[in-house]
């Protein structure tokens, strides 16, 4: 039978529409993977695991976490960017990598338009935390110590251009001090060296530090948000400690490759809304020193755009460059 081009095109379109409808109708019919752009043990990893565990029963499929740290988030971003656009490989993104790192990359490997937002899950301020043996109890004492010992203090971050790095640069600017920056491949490894005394202090969202603050191995000096954390009621805000210009909040959100069909995005966003608004999830986040903070695709897109513009100014004034 001879088929005209028009008939062939019509048949091909019908087949594509049927397969598309089947794929969306059946989503999800296998394991979903959250690619995390950091090593195990940091807040991005904790947020990803909390969300994966809570989402699986709502979604009706297993959700696994795959840690791909390094490259200031570029390794994980590239994996997800190049993945099948079927909604089974998603990026559990950290705001520092999404809205700060792109300003520092000399040859960017990905762009905002490579991803579409699904939902924000967790938001958290940074805390300023020091090793137990450092002879400072307050932020004012830390600044005084840094001035008395120029270039002696070093601080860990989860990578060059991470929010921890930028927060450190902010503190240097505001306090008129100079510290040595030591970048790691995620908060997990940075935390291990802080506990081991190889570095003096770090900045980061509270979850991975909470057990060590409770045991007395680490000391928290201040919170970089606008309010004190319910889980750390004795830690003053940076504004209360006299440094209102040191203000940084992170968010942890899920993104999909740009071409994932809209019905899949909508399904994931709706299911994540149920997860994040569940009282048990909210309580667990608060205990960790964070907040369950749902934003849908449109709101997340707006937050990412606003933060991207804001951090461009901070980086320019801090003179931070890619290493």
pLDDT digits (tens, 9 = 90+) for 86-108: 999 999 999 989 999 888 888 88
The answer to the question of residue 215 being in a domain is yes
Tell me: the pLDDT tens digits for 37-62?
999 988 999 999 999 999 999 999 99
Give Cα separations from 28 to 19, 49, 229, 268 (angstroms): 14, 19, 37, 10
In contact, 241 and 138? CB cutoff 8 Å: yes
Going by C-beta distance under 8 Å and a sequence separation of 6 or more, which residues neighbour residue 280? none
- CA neighbor of 38 nearest in space, from 133, 136, 142, 157: 157
CA–CA gap between residue 113 and residue 136 (Å, rounded): 45
**What pLDDT is attached to residue 323?**
56
Q: Do 218 and 254 belong to one domain?
A: no
The answer to the question of residue 178 being in a domain is yes
The answer to the question of residue 24 being in a domain is yes
**Tell me, what DSSP letter sits at residue 153?**
-
CA 63 and chain centroid, separation: 18
Q: Which residues pair with 121 in a beta bridge?
A: none
The answer to the question of residue 241 being in a domain is no
**What pLDDT is attached to residue 29?**
96
Query: pTM of this prediction?
Result: 0.79
Q: Do 219 and 142 belong to one domain?
A: yes
Confidence of residue 4 (pLDDT cuts 50, 70, 90): low
In contact, 63 and 55? CB cutoff 8 Å: yes
Tell me: the pLDDT tens digits for 159-214?
887 889 989 988 998 999 999 999 998 889 999 999 999 999 999 999 999 999 99
CB count within 10 Å of CB 148 equals 8
**What pLDDT is attached to residue 245?**
85
The answer to the question of residue 237 being in a domain is no
Give the chain's domain count. 2
CA–CA gap between residue 267 and residue 27 (Å, rounded): 9
| CATH number assigned to the domain comprising residue 185 | 3.40.190.10
Mean pLDDT for all residues in the chain: 90
CA–CA gap between residue 152 and residue 19 (Å, rounded): 62
Query: Hey, is 10 helix, strand or coil?
Result: helix
Q: Do 73 and 39 belong to one domain?
A: yes
Domain range for residue 213? 125-223
**What pLDDT is attached to residue 288?**
87
> Which one is predicted more confidently, 105 or 142?
142
The answer to the question of residue 32 being in a domain is yes
The answer to the question of residue 232 being in a domain is no
Give Cα separations from 242 to 115, 184, 210, 233, 236 (angstroms): 39, 29, 24, 18, 10
In contact, 208 and 156? CB cutoff 8 Å: no
Confidence of residue 276 (pLDDT cuts 50, 70, 90): very high
């Amino acid at each position: 039978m001879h088929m005209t081009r028009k008939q062939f095109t019509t048949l091909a379109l019908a087949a594509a529409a049927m397969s598309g409808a089947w794929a969306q109708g059946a989503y999800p019919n296998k394991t979903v993977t959250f690619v995390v752009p950091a090593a195990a043990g940091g807040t991005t990893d904790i947020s990803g695991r909390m969300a994966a565990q809570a989402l699986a029963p709502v979604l009706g499929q297993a959700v696994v976490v795959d840690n791909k740290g390094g490259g200031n988030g570029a390794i994980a971003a590239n994996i997800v960017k190049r993945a099948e656009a079927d909604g089974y490989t998603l990026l559990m993104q950290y705001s520092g990598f999404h809205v700060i790192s792109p300003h520092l990359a000399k040859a960017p490997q990905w762009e905002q338009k490579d991803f579409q937002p699904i939902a924000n899950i967790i938001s958290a301020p940074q805390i300023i935390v020091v090793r137990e043996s450092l002879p400072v109890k307050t932020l004012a004492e830390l600044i005084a110590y840094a001035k008395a010992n120029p270039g002696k203090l070093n601080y860990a971050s989860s990578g060059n251009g991470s929010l921890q790095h930028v927060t450190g640069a902010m503190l240097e600017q505001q306090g008129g001090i100079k510290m040595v920056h030591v970048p790691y491949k995620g908060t997990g490894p940075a935390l291990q060296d802080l506990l081991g005394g190889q570095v003096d202090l770090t900045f980061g969202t509270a979850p991975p530090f909470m057990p060590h603050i409770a045991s007395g191995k680490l000391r928290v000096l201040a919170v970089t948000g606008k309010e004190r954390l319910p889980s750390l009621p004795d830690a003053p805000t940076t504004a209360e400690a006299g440094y209102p210009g040191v203000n940084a909040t992170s968010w942890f959100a899920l993104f999909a490759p740009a071409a994932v069909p809209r019905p899949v995005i909508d399904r994931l966003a709706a299911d994540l809304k149920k997860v994040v608004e569940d009282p048990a999830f909210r309580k667990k986040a608060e205990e960790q020193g964070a907040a369950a903070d749902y934003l849908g695709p449109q709101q997340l897109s707006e937050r990412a755009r606003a933060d991207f513009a804001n951090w461009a100014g901070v980086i320019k004034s801090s003179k931070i460059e890619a290493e």
